[in-house]
Chains A and B, each alone.
Chain A
C-alpha cells in the first residue's frame, strides 16, 4: 500500500547508476552515519555498483559502535548483580567490552539474567510482573530511539514503578557530525543523513551541514531506491559547487520534524557531555535524564562509573568509524579480530565496516 516493492526495486535504478558514472568524479569520499543505512546499503549490494573512485564509508552512526569499551565493561559488571534483570535490544548482545569475548551473550550463558526486547514498553510490563527484581533497560540509540525511551521513563513514573530504571546511553547525531567535521583528518565530501533521525529532528536538524560547514548532504530513506537516489543527488551536489541540504525521504521527513516527539524529549532529557568511542568526550553530545526522573536513572541506582578503556587494546574501531582508517589498516584486522571472535564493535555487526570488509576482501 505504500509501494515498498517499488522503493526496493526502482524503475530508474539503472539510470541513476549511469548518472553516477557520468558525473566522472575524482576520488570522492561520502559518509553515511546510520547503522541502518549501513545494513541497507549492504543488503542492496550498492557499493559494488558504484564506480571505484566513489568511496561510501560508514561513520559513527551505530549506537553500538560508539559505545566506549569502558561503558560496556560497566554494563557487564551490572549484569553480575543477582537482583538485576538486564533488558536490551539484540544489537548489544555480542558487543565486547575491553576483554575480547566478554559480552552480554557470554554473561547470559554464565548465569546473568539478560533478556532481549523489541521495545522498552515491554520492559515496563516485565517490571510489573517481577516486583522483587530490578529491571534495567539499556537505553542506547540516537534521536530516532530517544523519544520512545522518554515515553518509557515517563510511563514508569506515571505507574509509580519502583523497580524499573533506564541506563541512558542516548546520543546526539549532530554532535558526532560536528566533531567529525572539525577533526584534523576529516576528508569526507558529503553526508548521507539518517532518514529516521531526520523524521524526529526535521530536515532543519541537518541544515547546519551546508549552512555552517558548506558540506553537501542528502537525507535518505532506507530502501534501495531511496539510497540510490540520495547518493546520486549527493554526488551531483558534490560535482556542482553550491552545497545544500536535500531531502530524498519526503514521505517521512518534514522541515521541522516531529515536534511532539521533540517536546517529549525536552521534557525528559537534558544535554550532557558524553564519551564516544573514537571521538572522545564531546560536550553536550549525550542525553541524560532530568532530575525529576532520578528515580529511574540506572546510573544513580547502581553507581555506574565507567573507566576510560580507550587505547587499552590495539583495536582501531574508533579511527575506522570516523573514516580515518580503513579496516585493513587496523593491526588486528583478520588476525586477532575476526567475525567469530571480534575485538571491537566494527567486527560484531554483520555489516559493520570491518565485518563487511572481511567478507568482501576476497571478492
Chain B
C-alpha cells in the first residue's frame, strides 16, 4: 500500500506544488513537507508528498547496504 516515487519540486504555491519525475509532471500536495523549496526531492504517493529525500540520505542508505554486504 505504498507505491511512492521521488519527484523534484519545480514550482510551489502554498500547499500545492508541481513535481517532476523523469519528464512527467503532476500537481501534488506538500502539506506534510517542512520548508519545501524548489529543487527539493519528495516521495509522492497518490498525489501527496509524504517525505523529503536528499542526495546525502540516498548515498548514506546505499552505503549501509554496501556495508551489510561487505560484512558478510
Contacts and interface: CB of A to CB of B under 8 A. Distances in A.
Binding between chains A and B = yes
A316 interface: no
A37 interface: yes
A144 B65 contact: no
A257 to B, nearest CB: 9
A226 B65 CA distance: 7
A148 B45 contact: yes
A144 B45 contact: yes
A122 interface: yes
Contacts of B8: 1
A250 B57 contact: yes
Contact of B41 (A1, A37, A118, A221): A1
A248 B46 CA distance: 23
Contacts of B64: 229, 248, 250
Given A35-B2, A141-B1, A251 B69 contact: no
Given A11-B66, A250-B61, A261-B50, A18 B72 contact: yes
Interface of A (DSSP majority class): helix
A36 B47 CA distance: 17
Contact of B72 (A2, A16, A61, A147): A16
A1 B55 contact: yes
B60 to A, nearest CB: 6
A3 interface: yes
A315 B17 CA distance: 45
Contacts of A221: 61
Interface stretch (A102-110, A189-197, A208-216, A277-285): A189-197
B34 A260 contact: yes
Contacts of A22: 72
B70 A15 contact: yes
Contacts of B2: 34-37, 142, 144, 194-197, 222
Nearest to B34: A260
A119 B43 contact: no
A227 B57 CA distance: 17
Contacts of B60: 250-251
Interface residues of B, number: 36
Nearest to B67: A12
Contacts of B68: 12, 16, 19, 229, 232-233
B38 interface: no
A142 B45 CA distance: 12
Given A36-B3, A196-B43, A229-B64, A2 B55 contact: yes
B31 to A, nearest CB: 6
Contacts of A196: 1-2, 4, 43, 45, 50
A2 B65 contact: no
A249 B61 contact: yes
Contacts of A249: 61
Contact of B58 (A3, A197, A233): A3
A222 B65 CA distance: 13
Contacts of B31: 147, 151, 260-261, 264
Interface in A76-93: 89
A185 B32 CA distance: 39
A194 B1 contact: yes
A260 B68 CA distance: 32
27 contacts: A1-B8, A1-B55, A3-B59, A7-B58, A15-B69, A16-B72, A19-B68, A34-B2, A35-B1, A89-B46, A119-B46, A119-B47, A121-B27, A144-B45, A147-B48, A148-B46, A151-B29, A151-B31, A199-B4, A199-B43, A200-B50, A222-B2, A229-B64, A232-B72, A251-B60, A252-B53, A258-B50
Ranked 5 nearest A-B pairs via Cβ: A12-B69, A119-B47, A19-B72, A148-B48, A196-B2
Interface of A: 1-4, 6-7, 10-13, 15-16, 18-19, 22, 34-37, 61-63, 89, 118-122, 141-142, 144-145, 147-148, 151, 194-197, 199-200, 221-222, 225-226, 229, 232-233, 248-252, 258, 260-261, 264
